[in-house]
């Protein structure tokens, strides 16, 4: 059975899953991971096999987000399964997994903002798009995203090194963020970074997509094209909302557990599915399957081709 602890202000609550519940959760998690890994793998292979994609800034940013999603999903799935199988792992291994997961999670909204800016330039300033959005500048932008995504995790490490005793780093813990980074300063620092990143990403995406929507309405006369543009904007809005949950995940979890202390495990599992799993389905849909150019090359990975065999008659033998 799975046993975990939630530390609140008043008391310490211990809860556990039954074996059947734990098994069902892990089967669902691994199955979803396998499905998404196949989809992401097909997208990555399609990108690197065709020159028209890796010379286009739009698809470079897209595949960067796909790879980041794959890394984040794999690490979080590993953390989820490890928490049931081993319960406690060494602090060093726990930190390594949490650092990569946290880093990749923070990259997702930043990548979404970068893609929004690229689309804004392409639609609202098409004559200068090729000059502004070059392959070299796209690679620089990706490096900036990596640095910005790593800063919160690196500061967590420095605060922990400064506040925790040496024995802590040689111990074993149940691997969740609150157990790894126990200093109150980590929580308040995280809140500051979340507010800063939330404000920047949300304002960037709202502004760019409002401008894109207005330009699309003014330039489009065909009803089907207008409907497709509106649906794309709607999917972007859903993805934005889900990604923004990344910045309020800790506050939301503490509030829900405080309101429903008897459902800690259910809240954490729903939190994991909504924030870490469901948004990973939207990226292939919004930027992959609905893209005519990508869909043309992706069909081979998802459509089974049946070859018709003509029977041989006795006269042909």
For range 201-214, the mean pLDDT: 80
pLDDT bucket at 302, cuts 50 / 70 / 90: low
| pLDDT > 70 fraction of the chain, expressed in percent and rounded | 79
Top-ranked range on mean pLDDT: pick from 13-17, 58-62, 226-230, 247-251: 58-62
198 C-beta neighbours (distance < 10 Å), count:
16
Q: What is the pLDDT of residues 114-136, one digit of tens each?
A: 888 888 888 788 888 888 889 99
Dihedral of CA 278/153/267/27: which sign? Answer: positive
Calculate what percentage of the chain has a pLDDT beyond 90: 10
Q: What is the pLDDT of residues 79-97, one digit of tens each?
A: 888 888 887 889 989 999 9
H/E element, 10: none
Residue 76 CB partners (closer than 8 Å, separation 6+): 101, 105, 272, 276
Work out the mean pLDDT of the chain and round it to a whole number: 79
**Position of tokens 């890796």?**
54
pLDDT level of residue 146 (50, 70, 90 thresholds): very high
Average pLDDT over residues 234-252: 70
- pLDDT tens sequence across 161-189: 898 888 888 888 888 888 888 888 888 88
Residue 257 and residue 6 in contact, taking contact as beta carbons nearer than 8 Å: yes
Confidence category of residue 24, pLDDT binned at 50, 70, 90: confident
Q: Which pLDDT belongs to residue 139?
A: 94
Q: What does the pLDDT read at residue 15?
A: 58
Q: Please give the pLDDT value at position 151.
A: 92
Instruction: Give the pLDDT of residue 48.
Output: 86
| E strand or H helix at 72 | helix 57-85
* Predicted structure pTM score: 0.81
Q: How far apart are CA 193 and CA 205, in angstroms?
A: 18
- In sign, the C-alpha dihedral spanning 122, 54, 227, 273 is negative
Q: pLDDT value at position 296?
A: 78
Residue 241 pLDDT exceeds 80: no
Strand residue runs (E) in 38-134 = 88-90
- Smallest CA-to-CA distance from 175 within 87, 252, 237 is with 87
């Amino acid at each position: 059975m799975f046993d975990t602890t939630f530390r609140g202000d008043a008391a310490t609550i211990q809860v556990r899953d039954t074996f059947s519940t734990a098994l069902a959760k892990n089967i669902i998690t691994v199955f979803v991971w396998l499905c998404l890994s196949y989809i992401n793998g097909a997208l990555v292979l399609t990108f690197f096999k065709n020159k028209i994609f890796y010379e286009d800034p739009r698809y470079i940013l897209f595949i960067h987000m796909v790879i980041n999603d794959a890394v984040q999903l794999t690490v979080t799935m590993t953390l989820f399964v490890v928490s049931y199988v081993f319960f406690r792992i060494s602090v060093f291994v726990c930190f390594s997994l949490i650092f990569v997961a946290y880093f990749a999670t923070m990259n997702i909204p930043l990548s979404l903002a970068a893609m929004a800016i690229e689309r804004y330039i392409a639609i609202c300033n098409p004559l200068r798009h090729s000059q502004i959005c070059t392959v070299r500048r796209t690679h620089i932008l990706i490096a900036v995203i990596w640095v910005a995504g790593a800063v919160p995790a690196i500061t967590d490490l420095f605060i922990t090194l400064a506040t925790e005793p040496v024995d802590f780093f040689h111990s074993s813990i149940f691997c969740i963020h609150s157990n790894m980074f126990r200093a109150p300063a980590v929580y308040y620092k995280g809140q500051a970074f979340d507010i800063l990143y939330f404000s920047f990403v949300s304002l960037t995406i709202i502004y760019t997509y409002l401008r894109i929507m207005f330009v699309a309405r003014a330039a489009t006369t065909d009803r089907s094209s207008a409907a497709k543009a509106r649906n794309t904007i709607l999917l972007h809005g859903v993805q934005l909302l889900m990604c923004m949950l990344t910045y309020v995940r800790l506050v939301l979890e503490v509030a829900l557990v405080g309101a429903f202390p008897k459902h800690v495990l259910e809240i954490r599992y729903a939190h994991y599915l909504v924030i870490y799993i469901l948004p990973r389905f939207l990226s292939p849909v919004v930027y992959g399957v609905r893209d005519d150019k990508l869909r043309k090359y992706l069909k081979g990975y998802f459509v089974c081709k049946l070859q018709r065999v003509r029977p041989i008659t006795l006269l042909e033998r």
